[in-house]
Structure 1
Amino acid sequence: MNWAHVLLAGYIGAVIATVVGVCRKKGWVGKVSGAVIFVVAIIGWNLFDTHYLIPRESPDYGLTETQKFEKAMLTMPVYEVIKEQEPALWQTILNQAVEMKTAGKSEQQIIDTIQPQILTFQMARLQQAPDANVIAYMQVNLAQIDAIAKVGGDECFRFLFPAVKGGINPVQLIPREIMSRRMANDMTMLQAAYGPGKHTVTAEEKELALQDLQAISPGLVQRYGPDIQIMADPNKGVGKEQLACDMVQDLWTQVLKLPTARAAGVIRLMLSAEMQ
Structure 2
Amino acid sequence: MKKGVRIAIAVVVGIAAASWIYRDKEPTAEQLDAAFSDMPSWQVIKEQEPAFRSKIQDQMLAMNKAGKTEQQIIDTIQPQILNLQMARLQTAPDANVVEYMKLNIEQIAAMQKLSDDNCFRFVYPEVKGGVNPMRLLDKGLTQRRMEADANMMRASAGPNKHTVTQEEIARAETDVVPIIQKLTQKYGNDIELLQAPNKGQGKEKLSCDLVQDLWNNVLALPEPQAAGLIRYSVSD
Question: So what's the TM-score if we normalise by structure 1?
Answer: 0.73
* Structure 2 residue aligned with 1:196: 159
Counterpart of 2:83 in structure 1 is 120
Q: For residue 215 of structure 1, what is the amino acid of its counterpart?
A: P
Q: 2:167 is aligned with what amino acid? A: E
Give 1:228 deviation, angstroms. 1.1
Is 2:205 the partner of 1:242?
yes
Uncovered stretches (5+) of structure 1, i.e. residues with no partner: 1-20, 27-37, 56-62
**1:145 corresponding residue in structure 2:** 108
Q: What is the count of residue pairs matched by the alignment?
A: 230
Aligned to 1:74, what secondary structure does the other structure show? helix
C-alpha deviation, 1:210, in angstroms = 1.0
Counterpart of 1:269 (choices 206, 216, 232) is 232
Query: What are structure 2's unaligned runs of at least 5 residues?
Result: none
SS state of the match for residue 114, structure 2? coil
Q: Which residue of 1 aligns with 2:4?
A: 24
Supply the distance in 2 between the matched residues of 1:250 and 1:40 (Cα, whole angstroms): 14
Larger Rg: 1
Aligned match for 1:101, one of 55, 60, 64: 64
Compute the RMSD of aligned alpha carbons.
Answer: 3.0
How far is 1:153 from its partner?
A: 2.5
> 1:147 corresponds to which letter in structure 2?
A
Could you tell which deviates more after superposition, 254-263 or 147-156? 147-156
SS of the aligned residue for 1:150 comes to helix
Q: Deviations over 1:244-271 (max 9, x none)?
A: 1111111001000111100000001111
Matches within 5 A, 1:1-276: 24=4, 65-272=28-235, 274=236
**Distance of 1:40 and 1:185 partners within structure 2:** 14
Post-superposition shift, 1:40? Answer: 9.3
Tell me, yes or no, if the aligned pair for 1:129 and 1:192 is still in contact at 8 Å. yes
Which whole-Å CA distance do the structure 1 matches of 2:130 and 2:221 have between them? 31
Contact kept in structure 1, 2:93 and 2:155, CA below 8 Å: yes
Change (3 A) 1:81 1:150: same
Do the aligned residues in 1 keep the contact of 2:112 with 2:119 (CA within 8 Å)? yes
Q: TM-score scaled by structure 2?
A: 0.84
CA distance in 2, matches of 1:258, 1:210: 14
1:170–1:103 Cα change, 3 Å: closer
Separation in 2, partners of 1:180, 1:135: 17
Q: Deviations over 1:194-229 (max 9, x none)?
A: 111111111100110111112211111111111112
Identity of aligned residues (%): 49
Matched residues in 2 for 1:98 and 1:150: separation? 34
Q: Deviations over 1:2-40 (max 9, x none)?
A: xxxxxxxxxxxxxxxxxxx956159xxxxxxxxxxx699
1:6 maps to which residue? none
SS at match of 2:170: helix
Q: Alpha carbons of 1:196 and 1:92: their partners in 2 closer, same or farther (altered >3 Å)?
A: same
